[in-house]
Structure 1
Amino acid sequence: MSQHRASEQAEEAAAVMTAAGMPRMPARVLMALLAAPDGGYTAAELGDRLGVSAAAVSGAVRYLQTLHFIRRRSRPGHRRDRYEVVSDSWFGVMTANAPVYNRLADLIDGIRAAQDDPDAAVHAAEMSSFLRFMARRMPELVQEWEAERNGPEGA
């Protein structure tokens, strides 16, 4: 695939991520880094590639670093750091949220208990139940993913 085609695909993927709720600029930076050559890009290269300001790149990389999706790497002999996607960041972030799902489910149960409206209580119960299901299943899904990723020899 040509670099131009990879860039087009990255922009389309960023648009989908934005539609799913990720802020636009971090989504664009993340997808640009997925399409980057080995070693990633500097902030200036990201700005040039995306046609955005240094401030836009700075905010996006800070956001993505907070989520542990990307990391900054310094290279000996180079003045500028490079940004790259962290391997395995997706499932790490997903599994790290299991305690959050349980805590949110507890809080939603509290909302449900205080409800006078039976229909609202049903909605809260469904959400709470789903969050507990996700918290319980996430470690199992990660184990399944690792087995699939490693193939038959890793099983």
Structure 2
Amino acid sequence: MEHRGVDAAEQAAAMMTAAGMPRMPARTLMALLAAPAGGYTAAELADRLGVSAGAVSGAVRYLQDAHFIRRMPTPGHRRDRYDVVVDAFHSVIIGNIPVYLQMADHVDRISGEIADDEVAVERAASMSGFLRFMAKRMPELVAEWEDIRTSGDFGVDA
């Protein structure tokens, strides 16, 4: 089987791991990103990644639970295929907005309980403020991304 984009996929997976995603789900996600149309079966993923079927099973479960990938039954075949969910990243980010707000509320409660420690209160206020800022801005950024994606102008200045 041809393995497309292996080096870049492994480098991207290493970056995702450094950012906090478990290693095998990161490798699996990046392999699926480089997959041909129709994705890969679990056996093809195991072959591509040079790992056991068990490692792939855990990784695809993690990625499905996080809504990054989807399982696609293949009519007439026993083996399902896996593929990346279109727009997975911004859907996950938008879906986590209630978590950001709830976390900010908890941090505010912590701040109220430590009101006698000015440094700790400032630290908590900074975290709470950042979480609320992210919750407010994420929908705006996703809407902006949708406009860019629709226009096809991916030459976004960073």
Q: If the TM-score is normalised by the length of the shorter chain, which range does it land in?
A: over 0.9
Q: Which runs of 5+ in 2 are unaligned?
A: 153-158
CA contact (8 A) 2:38 2:83 kept: yes
1:127 aligns with 2:127: yes
Q: Distance in 2 between matches of 1:4 and 1:55?
A: 21
- The amino acid that maps onto 2:134 is M
CA contact (8 A) 2:4 2:35 kept: no
Change (3 A) 1:20 1:108: same
Moved over 2 A (4+): none
- The amino acid that maps onto 1:32 is A
Partner of 1:144: 144
Question: What TM-score comes out, normalization by structure 2 length?
Answer: 0.92
Question: What TM-score comes out, normalization by structure 1 length?
Answer: 0.93
1:82 aligns with 2:81: yes
- The RMSD of aligned alpha carbons is 1.2
Partner of 1:66: 65
Q: Distance in 2 between matches of 1:56 and 1:120?
A: 42
Q: Distance in 2 between matches of 1:89 and 1:5?
A: 21
1:95 aligns with 2:94: yes
Change (3 A) 1:4 1:76: closer
- Calculate percent identity across the aligned residue pairs: 67
1:13 aligns with 2:7: no
Q: Distance in 1 between matches of 2:56 and 2:44?
A: 10
Q: Which runs of 5+ in 1 are unaligned?
A: none
CA contact (8 A) 2:13 2:26 kept: yes
Secondary structure of 2:27 counterpart: helix
Q: Distance in 2 between matches of 1:105 and 1:4?
A: 44
Q: Distance in 2 between matches of 1:108 and 1:61?
A: 33
**1:79 offset after TM fit, Å?**
1.7
Q: Distance in 2 between matches of 1:4 and 1:34?
A: 12
Q: Deviations over 1:71-101 (max 9, x none)?
A: 0001112221000000011101101111110
Q: Distance in 2 between matches of 1:5 and 1:52?
A: 17
Q: Distance in 1 between matches of 2:38 and 2:3?
A: 18
- Equivalenced residue count is 150
Change (3 A) 1:5 1:70: closer
Secondary structure of 1:68 counterpart: coil
